[in-house]
Chains A and B, each alone.
Chain A
Amino acid sequence: ILNVEQSPQSLHVQEGDSTNFTCSFPSSNFYALHWYRWETAKSPEALFVMTLNGDEKKKGRISATLNTKEGYSYLYIKGSQPEDSATYLCASYVDGGGNKLTFGTGTQLKVEL
């Protein structure tokens, strides 16, 4: 992996469903993995920053895990609600990219009633 990649690109779920999506990133020279939530017409806001292999973070119904050896992170949403509808971005530092984050293209989540 040379870049930060997210899948799926978009996701439609029903209210109450649990869901998860993936962020893949370069595992060499890893420093940190960031997750942001970006709701329509609002600014992106930080969810988690993770640094250690095996890290797990939780905020309400949203949690994330980190595997730095294989270069992936999962974001889980338990019991999705319409207010969870947003684009979820992950970002990491890419080897040779300097002191700056590289963002994935995001997973757009739509939670329907």
Chain B
Amino acid sequence: DGGITQSPKYLFRKEGQNVTLSCEQNLNHDAMYWYRQDPGQGLRLIYYSQIVNDFQKGDIAEGYSVSREKKESFPLTVTSAQKNPTAFYLCASSPGLAGPVDTQYFGPGTRLTVL
């Protein structure tokens, strides 16, 4: 069954701790994305990667880091420098071939709560 998996579904961390959110896809997509959703706001792009070993900052990259060592994996680390980490995090992927018309396929999301 092809798709995108994110784990865990819910995550609780103490303030000041780094935490890594997992995102895996078996769609053979080149591009992957991390979004954050807060109440009353649209999805905001944190980081994206168009190819293995390369990634770019999105609109709200401060306090986050990513890696793209494998095509199927794009983990997101929320560092202690992120001032407001409690949010819902969505990972997505797209074939990466069609640029602006590429459809993005989303995972189920991880809700992170920092206590």
Verify that A and B bind, or say they do not: yes
Residues from chain B with a CB closer than 8 A to the CB of A51 are 100-101
A-side interface residues, number (CB < 8 Å): 24
B106: Cβ under 8 A from any A Cβ: yes
Residues from chain B with a CB closer than 8 A to the CB of A32 are 100-101
On B, residues with C-beta under 8 Å from A are 4, 33, 35, 40-45, 48, 50, 56, 58-59, 90, 99-101, 103-109
Residues from chain A with a CB closer than 8 A to the CB of B56 are 98
Q: Apart from A49-B103, A89-B43, list 14 A-B contacts with CB within 8 A.
A: A4-B42, A34-B103, A42-B108, A44-B106, A45-B106, A46-B103, A49-B101, A93-B100, A97-B59, A99-B99, A101-B45, A101-B104, A102-B42, A106-B42
Q: Are B100 and A31 in contact (CB under 8 A)?
A: yes
Q: Are A105 and B42 in contact (CB under 8 A)?
A: yes
Q: Are B101 and A44 in contact (CB under 8 A)?
A: no
- Could you say which of B4, B100, B104, B108 has the most chain A C-beta atoms within 10 Å of its C-beta? B100
- Given known A-B contacts A99-B50, A105-B41, A106-B42, A44 and B90 have beta carbons under 8 A apart: yes
A59: Cβ under 8 A from any B Cβ: no
Majority SS at the chain B contact face? mixed
Q: Which residue of B lies closest to A100 (CB)?
A: B45
- Given known A-B contacts A99-B50, A103-B42, A105-B40, A43 and B100 have beta carbons under 8 A apart: no
Q: Are A43 and B108 in contact (CB under 8 A)?
A: yes
Q: Which residue of A lies closest to B92 (CB)?
A: A44
Q: Are A43 and B101 in contact (CB under 8 A)?
A: no
Tell me, in angstroms, the Cα distance from A51 to B90 when the chains sit together.
25
Q: Are B109 and A43 in contact (CB under 8 A)?
A: yes
Tell me, in angstroms, the Cα distance from A49 to B101 when the chains sit together.
6
Q: Which residue of B lies closest to A49 (CB)?
A: B101
Tell me, in angstroms, the Cα distance from A72 to B101 when the chains sit together.
17
A26: Cβ under 8 A from any B Cβ: no
Identify 16 residue pairs between A and B in the complex whose beta-carbon atoms are under 8 Å apart, listed by A's number: A4-B42, A32-B100, A34-B103, A42-B108, A43-B90, A43-B105, A43-B106, A43-B107, A43-B108, A46-B105, A49-B103, A89-B43, A100-B45, A101-B104, A102-B45, A105-B41
